Structure 1
């Protein structure tokens, strides 16, 4: 009688495709908001067996069969993990509902080609025994790295997040970053595929379990560290929960008044309003108008925030002879005066600009996000400064999901900041898993860099996060809320923050060497 693994290896046609698809879909249970990391054993174990069963009459046939299995597994993973993108198409259903399949099925279908590539690369390195697990780790890590970089990159739900969403396992990101977690995720979760191969298989699984234990012990030891707070700083994060259909120019006064009233809300006997806080944080996309060109709005802010300093998302414009340039920006406002700006550098495709704009415009597609015109990308990284705060490193919206971009921008600065500020508007995605996934990935940047993070999200999840990635305070998704707290101090620079190129490369080279050396005695 055939074993289950043999049935998977020998599967063909639609049975093989469905096994791959549903294996990938199950793996999403390891991600936020569920975070059941053992679920990731399913896709990685299935991946080994599917590639085992990819042998064909020649090498090209084997590669093609492996790539097809990888595409179906990736398609299942991305459909289950990114289905919530469809909510954005329904926010203005009269304009975008017809294109919903493009987001729910089209994008996952495209992303699945990276998983197909990973399977094909693994098949090139394939051999009997434990070495094939190292081959899978080498192939899929290359594919995930490429997914995070090609066509501006989209590393959302990288396979490394199967470990990165767990507070204990995620601590290793301070050493190796997300892509080292990708190597480890594939390697450790694929090990059960080796069972049934005699003593070698049991030994490999035992080593995998030892790897999980080692990661957990490292994480537990690191989380014993205590974090002091910055004296004299009292933070207030405002989550206004403004629905997309409320974000209109004809409601400008109502929206501003809503933010100001929330900012001045009494939350405790010790914090009765703005007089008891030092710094206030509003989300991305607060104003359906150009704040710098609205003296009345700035005066209203000055009248309410006499002592507190405001950080807020706001579109801004630069007028040149040929055309105006618009930016999705973050402003620092003190006493009604805009002191500093940061312009978003990594714009969101389809949200803030349209790839192949001419062709897509003919199909009736335009950017989802409000803007006075087409957004331009900011040209350089910088920190924002405000009295009482250490230097603030700004990230707008999904800039927070790019580990190497964040690391590169930080390394370009003259001095290390003391705080990451992430402002975002995830209201496009409703009360779904999307905003939780965004929070999980942003939190990993705090762990990688050893920096605290303040996160202000229009509809949630807003949070104050310590440099170990712990949520010191957070809001519920889809609610109006005010969050008060102290600012944790930054940790000394992590290994990853200093060696962000080297650390993941070392991890990948180790598994590549193991795949090539083929250690059958494991």
Structure 2
């Protein structure tokens, strides 16, 4: 045993096995969840990933055993780590099942336990892959970073993807620290975050410690320096401005589709939209309502469009989340879409966008014919399953505004960036009332905030009960409502120049980071050392 305190601690962790090893991995993951919004305690990353390095140091290669038996301990460390992380970071998902508890409370373990257990598989595969090229120096840190960056990419892709709370977000709690994502992409940021967070793992035997500290300090300095520089750079304006009003009605989710409450809900939206602007402020040119804000189908209530024509002043537009229906039973079936509808001052629907990336089990039931036999149903019961839109398309917001639309959690997918269309304002509508005042809505807002940075566009966000707000193209919050607030938020938006949208490294920056990490693994002797064994 070493005389150095950190080395003694490392030795204790390395020698753990069985349930003690699993417990430490579980706790390391749970602690890492404190690095996400609303806690933003990013320093926990150094604790969590240092422990993972030492736990993997203690995983033997099990000579003479089959490949699967030899691989399982490394996989188990990552799985327990991921299970703790997603259990602590996503427990609030179960709140959605309590909105209609009489129908869905039985499924609470599926959301709170099974979902984290399934997501943890990606982290288990990451630690397994890293352990295959493990060493006793810097190479193992690079291997862990590369494996976790790749795991986050796979997690965002497989089975429609779910990149919620990617590790890279831990390193981006404030706008100063968000700017680097335009160079690294989200998955490159996740890999570099693990690289830095895991560097204290070198204290176990101090091999490559000086080089590791130098690399970590260089990356942190570059991260902060680039952020400080970019925040001083003006966003290229298009020369156009848009007066926007965001409506946050905070409708109780249990009342949303209650027939007795529908007129009251619609009246509340109308009243908030009709409030006079502040003294000296311009009347809004665009009013934004949250996701599925209409508590009925517009085809069933033509009087609603008449009421909107009376509400909207000349030249005003309403962008409203709504359920859109298409087709008829006599024509082969009715299709429902989760949409944003653009309605003009004549009460006419002049444009629209249908949600492309639907929520599995929420808006549709995967493998419906099979799973329905076991009593599983989609969470949104007011409609028999939504149909996805065909592609993301810009919306005409008037006054030169070209809106890039995202409905609900579509905003968290880095690959769905609308880079093939010219837009100058990002619009996100959502309904987070399903999750109450839990970390979920704060995490959702943070990820939307960072997406504005990645796309180089200002963002307007209308949420049913929070968090609604305006974010500039650098991720700075211009104005926002708190959770459960009721009101109308007015803002003057400087539209971005579409030709000057943020340069991102999604296409080649992330591969370059992964390639560099691979070179670091080779340069520090991990692969040759593995072959020598």
How far 1:60 sits from its partner (Å)? 4.5
In structure 1, the residue matched to 2:178 is 170
Q: Secondary structure at the match of 1:140?
A: helix
- Cα deviation, residue 365, structure 1: 3.0
Counterpart-to-counterpart distance in 2, 1:28 and 1:230 = 42
Measure how far apart 1:199 and its partner are.
Answer: 6.7
Tell me, yes or no, if the aligned pair for 2:240 and 2:494 is still in contact at 8 Å.
Answer: no
Instruction: Tell me the CA shift for residue 458 of structure 1.
Output: 0.5
Residue of structure 1 aligned with 2:521, choices 509, 515, 518: 515
Contact persistence 2:137–2:207 (CA under 8 A): no
* Cα distance in 2 for residues equivalent to 1:60 and 1:135: 20
CA gap 1:334/1:370 in 2 versus in 1, 3 angstroms: farther
Give the match for residue 374 of structure 1. 385
Match of 1:236 in 2: 245
Specify whether residues 374 and 263 from structure 1 end up closer, same or farther in structure 2 by C-alpha distance, changes over 3 A only. Answer: same
Shift of residue 47 of structure 1? 1.4
Instruction: Find the aligned partners of 2:29 and 2:507 in 1 and give their Cα distance.
Output: 29
Correspondence for 1:398: 409
Do the aligned partners of residues 119 and 199 (structure 1) sit closer, same or farther apart at CA in structure 2, a change above 3 Å counting?
Answer: closer
Q: Aligned partners of 1:452 and 1:121: how far apart in 2? A: 39
Q: Contact between 1:270 and 1:276, CA under 8 Å: does it hold in 2?
A: no
Q: 1:36 & 1:202 partners in 2: Cα distance? A: 26
1:429 to 426, 435, 438: 435
- The one-character-per-residue Cα deviations of 1:115-165 (angstroms, maximum 9, x if unpaired) are 000001101121221111000011111111111100000000011111133
2:38 match: secondary structure:
coil
Residue 310 of structure 1: how far off its partner (Å): 0.5
Q: Check if 1:483 corresponds to 2:489.
A: yes
Alignment-derived partner of residue 345 in structure 1? 356
Contact 1:164/1:178 (<8 A) preserved: no
SS in 1 for 2:397: coil
Measure, in 1, the Cα distance between the counterparts of 2:81 and 2:283: 53
Q: How far apart in 2 are the matches of 1:121 and 1:254? A: 56
1:278-297 to 2 correspondences below 5 Å: 278-297=285-304
Does structure 1 retain, via aligned residues, the 8 Å contact 2:341–2:353?
Answer: yes
Residue-by-residue CA offset, 1:313-333 (whole Å, 9 max, x unaligned): 001111052111110000001
Residue 464 of structure 1 pairs with residue 474 of structure 2: no
What is the TM-score normalised by the length of structure 2? 0.92
What's the offset of the Cα at 1:169?
A: 2.0
**Structure 1 stretches (4+) deviating beyond 6 angstroms?**
none
Task: Give the drift of 1:8.
Answer: 1.1
**Residue 263 (structure 1) aligned to one of 263, 273, 286:** 273
How much does 1:267 deviate? 5.8
Contact 2:136 2:207 in 1 (8 A): no
Q: Tell me the distance in 2 between the aligned counterparts of 1:230 and 1:66.
A: 56
> 1:55, 1:61 within 8 Å by CA — same for their partners in 2?
no
Classify the secondary structure of the residue corresponding to 1:352: coil
- Name the counterpart of 1:6: 11
Q: Which blocks of at least 5 consecutive residues in structure 2 are unaligned?
A: 3-7, 527-533
8 Å contact kept, 2:242–2:494: no
SS of the residue 1:128 aligns to: coil
Alpha carbons of structure 1 residues 283 and 456: separation in structure 2 relative to 1, 3 Å: same
> For the residues of structure 1 that align with 2:446 and 2:491, how far apart are their CA atoms?
20
Q: Which residue of 2 aligns with 1:446?
A: 452
Alignment partners' CA distance in 2, 1:45 and 1:55:
18
Mean alpha-carbon deviation: is it higher for 116-125 or for 312-321?
Answer: 312-321
Work out whether 1:250 is the aligned partner of 2:257.
no
SS in 2 for 1:488: strand
